[in-house]
Amino acid sequence: MSKRALTNILVTGGCGFIGSNFINYLFGKSAGAGFGGNEAFTDAGFTGTVVNVDCLTYAGNPGNLAQVQKEFGGTRYFFERTDITDRAQIDRILRQYSIDTVVHFAAESHVDRSILGPEAFVRTNILGTYTLLDAARTFWGISLDTPRDDVLFHHISTDEVYGSLGATGYFTETTPYDPRSPYSASKAASDHLVMAYSHTYGLPVTLSNCTNNYGPTSSPRNFSRL
């Protein structure tokens, strides 16, 4: 895949911890500036538009992006309170903002919550990912006969799809999938959907399997589990 400029980026779950840090990074906060303060932004090379799609569950906090909203709201930053399973709204957003890049953070991601209520995880993590994939493929006009390399779908997954750490204490990209909870099983399913859309339709995708992340704007509920 050739390197290209990012122009109109759809970020799902952008009000969450990792998503909001990503958006803050795109807009280039001043070196050393703390998150959540009133420091001025500097443009760090990204000159495009970010559309943040978030339905604001317990983990979503628009305040994480208060400075972005203040500096760029209505010009280069737009917030859409939308469920990623709502195909009509996702179709509209892709068209309205001429999206060329999807960065998919949105997910139900709490293991204990998945044990108590797995349905929400199946709906958001599997159906939501499918909705985004199929909407992007359709909007971008991608099929076996019409490939493209100027668009991208990036999917953020988790290392928990690989199961529990073994004797070596680490995973690699070739570690077999072995999810152990409804949460990790739903993320594994979403990973397979992403790769299936790549192999079947030629959708340009990348996928990252993150380990635990924590820092400014972390949800206290998730941070307490580390």
Q: How many CB atoms lie within 10 A of CB 115?
A: 12
Given 77, 130, 162, 183, the catalytic residue: 183
Given 160, 162, 191, 197, the catalytic residue: 160
Nearest to 23 by CA among 125, 128, 130, 101: 101
CB of 11 within 8 A of CB of 103? yes
Is 191 annotated as catalytic?
A: no
Is 108 annotated as catalytic?
A: no
CB of 88 within 8 A of CB of 82? no
Nearest to 102 by CA among 207, 188, 2: 207
Is 43 annotated as catalytic?
A: no
3: left (phi over 0), alpha (psi -120 to 50) or beta: beta
Given 71, 134, 159, 178, the catalytic residue: 159
Q: How many CB atoms lie within 10 A of CB 55?
A: 18
Instruction: Provide the H-helix boundaries in the chain.
Output: 17-26, 66-72, 87-96, 111-116, 118-121, 129-140, 182-201, 220-223
User: Would you please indicate which residues are annotated as catalytic (active-site) residues?
Assistant: 159-160, 183
